[in-house]
Chain A
Amino acid sequence: MLDRTRMPSASTAHALARGLGWFSLALGAAELFAPRALTRRIGLRGQEGLVQACGAREITTGIGLLTTSQPAPWLWGRVAGDVLDLATLAAGSDGSSRRRGARGLAMAAVLGVTALDVAAALAASGTERPRRRLTYGYDRRRGFRDLPDRMRGIARDAVVPKDMRFPEKLRPWGGGGS
């Protein structure tokens, strides 16, 4: 009767998801509020708007990851975001060759995070609650000795206390509203 179906990795996947959620929040805040510092450092000057958009996306994902009980879709969202980041880094050079090394490093870092995101997303997807179709035979648990339709109104003799009744004047249906 006790539930033994939960895989041991479920809690690990969720802990990882929360960690990534905080990471998203921190990165998103940096991108949103200090885009210039970032673009200068990795040779993407002029792309501040794009970086800020990425920041907004990170923050949404971070909140999602920190507040959901089913992180898988949010984690796959992060993976998609990583791919976008990589594309931005690869395409968006501002021509400063001095920063090429820094950009390489940034790409390596994003690749590392991507690997982590994919692993977490896979683990979380594997532990998702399966859709259950069983009804456990509860469709026979009436609680009544007879069909519900035959029990309808059997307790009409119950006294509804005065404090729980509508005032007569407010009974449009009972003919009391005259």
Chain B
Amino acid sequence: MKALCWHGKQDIRCDEVPDPKIEHPRDAIVKVTSCAICGSDLHLYDGFMPGMESGDIMGHEFMGEVVEVGSENKKLKVGDRVVVPFTICCGECDQCRRGYFSVCERSNRNKSVGDKVFGHTTAGLFGYTHLTGGYAGGQAEYVRVPYADVAPVKVPSNLTDEQVLFLGDIFPTGWQAVVQCDIEPTDTVAIWGCGPVGQFCIRSAVMLGARQVIAIDRVPERLAMARAGGATTIDFETESVVERLNDLTGGKGPEKCIDAVGLEAHATATLDSMYDRAKQAVMLETDRPHVLREMMYVCRPAGVLSVPGVYGGVLDKIPFGMAMNKSLTIRTGQTHVNRWTDDLLKRIEEGQIDPTFVITHRASLADGPELYKTFRDKHDGCVKVVLQP
């Protein structure tokens, strides 16, 4: 079959690889009908996440048709149409039972590595480094889905692939980022980053009833899309983020701040981001936490910082004293996708939201390598890429 494989920094190729096989009785094989490139994939593409090996199959946002099921899988049948969440979960361990699926204790088959690197393992993820299991990803014609009797979400035939595809990652991610802010009708929510995740944060914040939603980025078309969804926007390249946020909140700062940017925060002309660039270049720091610093500074005391943006390792010069003295709550995490999928599927069916608004590029798997670059460089108005194997 064909699959997009990682071969090193900025080197993704569409390779011919062996078809996946059932390896465990709870598995299923899914024939991928649509998959997407996620901002998290860019961290692998740019070589910021450790633990990738040459030839690893990329992709964790995908859906398709079940073509084979293991003997113990009682949930799926051949022919079922499913969206597959990017977090692999067993459904039975302590964490899964409490709904913390992205830290499932059993699905990371490289648990000992996870234990060593993170103190305690996190869940297995599709196409996302050997720290989280080294599972083959979904930017491929076929995928083996482990524990396939737990996470995959069956979707009704009256909804198109594009309407439901993002249930596997970015829609629940934006949603959880806002839910864990525990929105009050009086809240101002500030969202850093108007990429696909930021866009879903904006829509979720509006739906959950925040009084004011403010979005920050510097890419004009992404800012335009943010305004279309109901956000007031700030262009961080031409305006002072802190000044504008304070102006828009009567000098008090936003109650809720969301980091939908992550470890590749863009270096503007600020001193701290130049410092990060230099330290990252000489490998004294792995991530660029400019957004985290800005959030800690501008957030209203007793507010919440919600961090769906992905970080990989060691961050420098985090003003934790500010966070502590201001009584801030910090919530983080890879998304516990299945916690939200039923509710969000219902809202898509009811027409409250149509997730296709974010798609700007559609192409075949073979065009994938080129589109990684287009998405990374935000060329050609690219916001979200969907590939059809």
A residues apposed to B, CB below 8 Å: 1-3, 5, 63, 66-68, 132-136, 138-145, 148-149, 151-156, 158, 160-161, 163-166, 170-174
Bound form: Cα–Cα A83–B365 in Å: 52
From known contacts A144-B203, A144-B229, A164-B179, infer whether A133 and B208 are also in contact, taking CB-CB under 8 Å.
no
B224 engages A66 (CB within 8 Å): no
Q: How many contacting A-B pairs (Cβ < 8 A)? A: 130
Chain B residues within 8 Å of A144, by CB: 203, 206, 229-230, 352-354
B209 engages A136 (CB within 8 Å): no
From known contacts A2-B374, A3-B380, A165-B182, infer whether A139 and B224 are also in contact, taking CB-CB under 8 Å.
yes
A164 engages B206 (CB within 8 Å): no
B207 engages A134 (CB within 8 Å): no
Residues 96-114 of chain B, each 1 if its beta carbon lies under 8 Å from chain A, else 0 = 0011000000000000000
B354 engages A155 (CB within 8 Å): no
From known contacts A66-B281, A135-B220, A142-B357, infer whether A2 and B367 are also in contact, taking CB-CB under 8 Å.
yes
Bound form: Cα–Cα A172–B367 in Å: 53
Residues 349-363 of chain B, each 1 if its beta carbon lies under 8 Å from chain A, else 0 = 001111101101101
B residues apposed to A, CB below 8 Å: 98-99, 179-180, 182, 184-186, 199, 203-204, 206-210, 220-222, 224-225, 227-230, 267, 274, 277-278, 280-281, 302, 329, 331, 339, 343, 347, 351-355, 357-358, 360-361, 363, 367, 370-371, 373-374, 377, 379-381, 383
B224 engages A138 (CB within 8 Å): yes
Contact of A152 among B199, B209, B351 (CB under 8 A): B209
Closest Cβ–Cβ distance, residue B54 to chain A (whole Å): 22
Contact of B355 among A138, A143, A164 (CB under 8 A): A143
Closest Cβ–Cβ distance, residue A78 to chain B (whole Å): 17
Bound form: Cα–Cα A161–B363 in Å: 38
Residue of B nearest to A5 (CB): B379
Bound form: Cα–Cα A138–B360 in Å: 9
B184, B225, B347, B370 — which one has the most chain A CB atoms within 10 A of its CB?
Answer: B225
From known contacts A138-B224, A172-B302, A173-B186, infer whether A143 and B199 are also in contact, taking CB-CB under 8 Å.
yes
